[in-house]
Structure 1
Amino acid sequence: MMKIFSVKVRSFSETIFCFLAFSLVGYANLDFTRHVNVFQGTAGGGNRFPGVVAAPFAMVKLGPDVKSGTADAYSGYLPNGNVWGYSLMHESGTGGAPKYGVVSQMPVIGDLPNPLVDLSQPRASPDEGNIGYYKSSLANGIVIELTATEHAGLYKYSFPSNSSGPSIVVDVSHVLPSFRGLGWEQHYSYGDFNFFEDGHYEGSGTYDNGWNLSPNWNIYFCGRFTQQPVTTKTFKGSGTTLASYDTTSSISGNERVGGVFTFKDSSVISRVGISYISTEKACQNLDNEIPEQTDFQNLVGKARNKWNTEVFSKIQISSENSSDHDLLYSSLLGMFMIPSNLTGENPDWSSPEPYYSDIFTLWDTHRCHTALFQIVQPEAYEEFIRSLIDIWRFDGFMPDARSSNYNGRVQGGSNADNVLADAYVKGVRGSINWDDGFSAMVTDAEVVPPNNHDPKAPDSSTKEGRGALPDWLKYGYNTPTFTRAVSRAVEYSTNDFGLYQVANGLGKIDEAERYLNRSRNWRNHWNPAASSNGHSGFVVPRRANGSFIPQDPLSCGGCYWGDAYYEDNPWVYSLNALHDVYTMKKWIGGDEKFVDRIDKLWELGIFNAGNEPSFASPYLYNFVKGKQHRSVERSRQIGKLYNAGERGLPGNSDAGAMEANILWQMIGLYPITGQTTFLILSPWFPELTINLGNGKRLTITTTGGNKDSAFYVQSLKVNDEPWTKSWISFEEIFSNGATLSFVLGSDPVDWATGDLPPSPSSGDQ
């Protein structure tokens, strides 16, 4: 049996097993996890979680919590610093501020007079890991190995054989801190901890805040050990000051509480289940998923099998370069760690519908992540759509983001509308109630959400919905009364286009016309006199009296919550109305100016591959005859910014948005959200196959070139028929499967002579 636990964070490229696949024959039975670096994007701002996620969207994400000065450990992990616990709940690739890091254990050696002091330890060597497995070696000689299931975790502790008093500390107050000073740090407010005669323990913790500013939420836990402790103690105190520390069997309160277990043997196995519902449910989850005598390696194997079957085997490639496989499968892992599937774990309402939380954020993921989510995991994707609608039924609004079962934070528009529209136009039906789905979208479009008084944007709600809706309904644009007025206007237009798409499909003629017209409101921010670097016409702030506010198109102030533009400047947002491209093109000055406008994003240093508003900009060349090769060139430039290493992402993972972007480059297509259009780029591999389910496949082949130097499309056949358009629709390649046969070469040719991509809001094109 092959060894799978040899991947080290500092030497992944040297130690990972290299398998060179020259054909896809027999490939389906291989273990794709050998190509996964769980440490991809864990350094350099990627914020990826490297610990154990036993299945796509598992509730338990078991891994280390590391502290290093005042650096925020968003996923719990940092490559440098001291480990101060191993907790069961984390998020992956998030920003803003950390969330979770709860239900933690920390092993210690020797006399422990005060469990409230800093018990953290340096690591003796880099952490190791692969799918379903994680290992830390601490400076004091303790080795911790982790595996998990979807609702429970298994810890394997190996203490030095000559150590005295091997102990495990369970600190209910443990939570990931934030040092950014934004007021988004988490707080612990209450805990309880209880020993039972059969040796197991139970408890719960109450916490609040984090990046989504959630109020109090509870998590319950249930733990068991494979050997009886020599001693058990509970503790209580504030800061590092003990109030009590004795053999009392139960303890609770607003102070820090927990338990200390001391063992005789140097090898200890700890099993812990969690639940949002109750300690009884936590124990049930533990006993169902990790019963006594569970084999550690068996759980690792189950996790590998889950990921292989449900995700990795869905996309297969032929490539002689092992780094291609590493990048592909490491990126797929990054895509499917969150949201968390909490079906059966909803503490707020009872419903037969699926339930997902830990959504970060649809502002990030609607652009290209959810389109690939549908293709790779169609069953879970339908569940996710149903969950968004059910959250509206019970909470009043769909989330743009959600964590600890609470909506927030909205950075721009109500982008669940885009996700639902994308699903609808691509034929996702199943058990989705689309009448309710459209009603949820109408709520976003017509109901002003209550202001949650976010200190970073106090003008309107950042919790859910469209905070600037009063201006949108009154003026058809957003005034500076509202923060992020311009970027929100561009997104509200896209949201309204999503409502048009669903209304049109449901035969709601009046509503369709209303929202199609509203989808053009981004135009009301267009100032033809605004100029920069030889270009005129940009989206700018506008007063209630209709006058434009002078704006340097190269500036967006701080580009943050209180500014007119969020995370990008007018150059980028003026190219973001992807449902109305021909209006953009016309107002920019025609094809030549449009191409130059895109070029300038690079020439002026504006384009940022790590920033979502820029994601589609490199491929807008496809909307101009004879320029598809420019999209290919930009795609290849972006591809060079990625690899499977620690610093392998050009920006924050953003819950897999960054990884989805590179996966589409590898496939050679780019989705336009809310539409069935895919812009054609240039695939990376001689052969790539996507398993679409029900015996259907999309097979993409290339001949005559390579991904690194001879990557220009010379010709394309779809199902053996010549294809001359720079785009293709979902129905033509994904609904029933297809073959795309590319001929590549070292020089661009004008092969895409057919119709240009659609621009549905542009009217007469």
Structure 2
Amino acid sequence: MAKAVADVYGDNQGGFTSDGAPIQGFSHMHDSGTGGATSLGNFPIFPQAGCPNNDINACNYTSWSRQTPRINGTVEARPGFFAITLESQIRAEMTVTNHTALYRFTFPQVPTTANTTLSPHILLELEDLPQTRQDAGITIDPKTGRITGWGLFGPSFGIGTYKSYVCADFFGAKLKDSGIFMNSRAKSGMTKYRAPSEKTQKAAKRPAGGYVQFEKPETDNQIVVRVGLSFISEAQACSNAEKEIPSPDVSSINSVAAAAEKVWREKLDVIDVVPGGASDVLLRSFWSGVYRSMISPQDYTGENPLWKSDEPYYDSYYCIWDSFRSIHPLITLLDPHSQTLMVRGLLDVYRHEGKLPDCRMSFCKGFTQGGSNADIVLVDAYLKNISAGIDWDLAYEALISDAEIEPPNWDVEGRGGLESWKSLGYIPTENLDTLGVGTETRSISRTVEYAYNDFVIAIFARDHVQDTAAYNKYLGRSGNWKNMFKADQTSFINGTDTGFVGFLQPKYMNGTWGFQDPIYCSPLMEFTGCYLNPSGGETYEGPVWLYTFFAPGDMKSLIQTLGGADSFVKRLDFFHDSGMCYIGDEQAFLKVFLYHYAGRPAKSAERAHYYIPSQFNDTVGGIPGNDDSGAMGSFEALTMMGIFPNAGQDVYFITPPFFESISIKNGQTGKTATIRNINYDSSFKNIYIQSATLNGKPYSKNWLQHNFFLDGGLLELRLGANESSWGTRPEDLPPSLGPFGNGTTAEKRKCTW
């Protein structure tokens, strides 16, 4: 839960950025790479070497006045530890335990501010990074300097409010003074303050908090600050801190950081890479991607104020629309225990709130971006043997609820437009929805996403409950994507016909067609025109071109609908080569690997090497979009491992790993699965699989199932410089529903699993 880092002024969704922006505080909880507003960053602290002329009102209290540039080249960052030196010559080091942040501030012998003697001054502000404070209070113990506080804040991408609590203790120097500050002024000796509530006084937005001031530190000019955190109470925040880091001194940060590093090594050590000459750029990019994939969702078990439960509670799902594609599949591979706890946590949300979340942060309901995508997370986990302690009957109930019961506000959970979905087989543009309310846009993207949600429900109905009627029903509804396919729709770029015909298009309730330019909301036209807002387009964060490729459970039908394999490949090539594909948004990920369904796995390998390292690398600009809590990192890691998943199915597309070999130790079985390249070259001329063996036997399928990782084994890929016939035969392709029959039942839509 604790994630301590320096907070910059400006673009600070994750707290710190490498853009040279000044530092305005150090806070203790963050969400990484969120695409919405800045999140968390509650109760920042800030050190100053002293106040000019020993006047507490000459110190800086507001976030804008205390901003201090960093000294370039002083940042030190690794898993479990962060450090930076400010131009004030204060060195800040920090690490964490589960619910506690530990800071060590080293002050200069002579403060850099004129007329100032060394008398360290540390403030704690009642605020969060997005400045959503609505109510707050603080207490300072004048004998020990302990600061406790609380605040009522708002989430970054959802509705509601949450309370957060803090408990800060200081070690290494004798307390000299303490007090409260408001705006830019301070009052010595004041021990309590209740910030005005936003509901009663707009002044709730003014800066407020507390400060402590110390005599010269006893050892090496260093002061340690321990900050306990809780969402339950101030007392629990203090208890968390005392339990996790008892009696710290100036050297404690070393042992706490070492313990954090040990935990990270345990998480990362399930992967073994033999580089084979791969560059440091690729290695850093890979490990960074794995690391970032493990930052969220965050384990808040024991800190849930909304209900009492023996089940785990996870938070910071930003959002499952982003994370179902690669984050959760990667966690399933590398840390199945944590994925099991997350699934149990999702089901506990359903148990207590009546719907699975699609986005959730700070105990608040986040905005749905498309379908009910927790459905995909659950079924993906089920198919991959995530099972310990999971009530799969409850999961089925939750899946059916998403498919059949529209919530009053489908902006924050479930699906909207279910009347039309059931009667018309698509989500109409300008739909009449009498069951609930929500943002009436995204009719195309919601249609294709609902279709895939129903596909995974069909698979679960078949495999878990053996309900043939439900299987037929939801398998039939999974084909609804075709109801928005306009066979004669053309596409132009700058007045030039692309030569491709047939795209998804908006459709009204009466069955007549609307129009959205197929390149609208791509980098080629009005890139930001389809965001989550009432005036957004009929696709979400991407063009019709992109969504026309989205039928993950029905790819054989899609390829036939788009003119067959050769035409499909040409269309997919054009999508990537024209500049229309923005790989910095998650729905583009699968488009890199769809060539597998057309019998051209070699082209998937080409695309993987096109985007890595050009878009994913170890530079400051080496993440093409916001990381969305590790989505970009997980795409990068899985692609470099050579096993990208089709989430919601037991399917991994095989492409050559970016290293000579990679091994993964399974956390459930203890078995190790290894993928080894033969004829690997680090210049990547040999990126095409010529042949493969699985445990010594010829293997021609261009995809794997999860039992390879559960059972362990060796997949060897013999590489060459030219595309081969490996993985190209119809029987080598990943499973698909197949073509439409004359009806919609499973018997008429044969499945090739």
Q: TM-score, normalised by structure 2?
A: 0.87
2:375–2:453 CA contact under 8 A, matched in 1: yes
Query: What is residue 630 of structure 1 aligned with on the other side?
Result: 603
Question: 1:515 is paired with a residue of what secondary structure?
Answer: helix
Question: 1:519 is paired with a residue of what secondary structure?
Answer: helix
2:109–2:118 CA contact under 8 A, matched in 1: no
Query: What is residue 444 of structure 1 aligned with on the other side?
Result: 402
Query: What is residue 435 of structure 2 aligned with on the other side?
Result: none
User: Aligned to 2:189, which of 227, 234, 247?
Assistant: 247
Query: What is residue 18 of structure 1 aligned with on the other side?
Result: none
| Counterpart mapping for 1:118-137 below 5 A | 118-126=65-73, 127-137=75-85
Percent identical residues: 31
Give the CA deviation at 1:479: 1.4
Query: What is residue 74 of structure 1 aligned with on the other side?
Result: 13
Question: Which structure 1 residue ranges, 5 or more long, are not aligned?
Answer: 1-58, 178-185, 452-460
| Counterpart mapping for 1:192-211 below 5 A | 192-196=137-141, 199-211=144-156
Aligned partner letter, 2:233: S
User: Aligned to 2:472, which of 494, 513, 521?
Assistant: 513
Give me the whole-angstrom Cα distance separating, in 2, the residues matched to 1:588 and 1:734.
34
1:115–1:235 CA contact under 8 A, matched in 2: no
1:706–1:744 CA contact under 8 A, matched in 2: no
Question: 2:168 is paired with a residue of what secondary structure?
Answer: strand
Query: What is residue 26 of structure 2 aligned with on the other side?
Result: 86
Task: Report the more deviating stretch, 552-561 or 141-150.
Answer: 552-561
Query: What is residue 522 of structure 1 aligned with on the other side?
Result: 481
1:493–1:519 CA contact under 8 A, matched in 2: yes
Matched, 1:112 2:56: yes
Question: 1:188 is paired with a residue of what secondary structure?
Answer: coil
Give the CA deviation at 1:761: 6.3
Query: What is residue 98 of structure 1 aligned with on the other side?
Result: 38
| Counterpart mapping for 1:217-616 below 5 A | 217-227=162-172, 229-237=174-182, 239-240=183-184, 242=185, 245-254=187-196, 255=204, 256-265=207-216, 266-293=221-248, 295-320=252-277, 321-451=279-409, 461-481=410-430, 482-505=440-463, 506-532=465-491, 533-556=498-521, 558-561=529-532, 562-616=536-590
Aligned partner letter, 1:471: S
1:568–1:400 distance in 2 versus 1, CA, 3 Å: same
1:172–1:205 CA contact under 8 A, matched in 2: no
Give me the whole-angstrom Cα distance separating, in 1, the residues matched to 2:124 and 2:171.
20
2:40–2:128 CA contact under 8 A, matched in 1: yes
Query: What is residue 717 of structure 2 aligned with on the other side?
Result: 742
Matched, 1:756 2:733: yes
Query: What is residue 436 of structure 2 aligned with on the other side?
Result: none
Aligned partner letter, 1:349: W
Task: Report the more deviating stretch, 312-321 or 347-356.
Answer: 312-321
1:166–1:467 distance in 2 versus 1, CA, 3 Å: farther
Task: Report the more deviating stretch, 361-370 or 122-131.
Answer: 122-131
Question: 1:472 is paired with a residue of what secondary structure?
Answer: helix
- Superposed CA offset, 1:260-295 (max 9, x none): 111112321111111111111111110111110352
User: Aligned to 1:724, which of 693, 700, 719?
Assistant: 700
Question: 2:710 is paired with a residue of what secondary structure?
Answer: coil
Task: Report the more deviating stretch, 734-743 or 548-557.
Answer: 548-557
Give the CA deviation at 1:191: 1.7
- Superposed CA offset, 1:300-335 (max 9, x none): 111111000122443433333333332221111111
2:155–2:161 CA contact under 8 A, matched in 1: no
User: Aligned to 1:658, which of 613, 632, 653?
Assistant: 632
Give me the whole-angstrom Cα distance separating, in 1, the residues matched to 2:301 and 2:272.
27
- Superposed CA offset, 1:618-660 (max 9, x none): 21111123x2211111111121222223222122111111111
Query: What is residue 437 of structure 2 aligned with on the other side?
Result: none
The CA RMSD over aligned residues, in Å, is: 1.8
1:339–1:98 distance in 2 versus 1, CA, 3 Å: same
User: Aligned to 2:99, which of 124, 135, 151?
Assistant: 151
Give the CA deviation at 1:202: 4.1
Matched, 1:63 2:24: no
User: Aligned to 1:173, which of 102, 117, 126?
Assistant: 126
Give me the whole-angstrom Cα distance separating, in 2, the residues matched to 1:287 and 1:326.
36
1:551–1:258 distance in 2 versus 1, CA, 3 Å: closer
Aligned partner letter, 1:279: E
1:124–1:628 distance in 2 versus 1, CA, 3 Å: closer
1:684–1:706 CA contact under 8 A, matched in 2: no
1:193–1:257 CA contact under 8 A, matched in 2: no
Give me the whole-angstrom Cα distance separating, in 2, the residues matched to 1:131 and 1:555.
40
2:6–2:27 CA contact under 8 A, matched in 1: yes
1:192–1:257 CA contact under 8 A, matched in 2: no
Give me the whole-angstrom Cα distance separating, in 1, the residues matched to 2:106 and 2:456.
55
Give the CA deviation at 1:172: 3.4
Aligned partner letter, 1:77: F
1:204–1:218 CA contact under 8 A, matched in 2: no
Give the CA deviation at 1:228: 5.2
How many residues are aligned here? 682
User: Aligned to 2:159, which of 209, 214, 238?
Assistant: 214
Task: Report the more deviating stretch, 211-220 or 146-155.
Answer: 211-220
1:706–1:115 distance in 2 versus 1, CA, 3 Å: same
Query: What is residue 685 of structure 1 aligned with on the other side?
Result: 659
Aligned partner letter, 2:33: G
2:4–2:30 CA contact under 8 A, matched in 1: yes
Give the CA deviation at 1:410: 1.0
2:556–2:737 CA contact under 8 A, matched in 1: no
Give the CA deviation at 1:210: 3.9
Aligned partner letter, 1:190: D
- Superposed CA offset, 1:234-276 (max 9, x none): 3253x44x4x613022222324432111111232111111111
Give the CA deviation at 1:687: 1.7
Give the CA deviation at 1:105: 0.6
Give the CA deviation at 1:718: 0.6
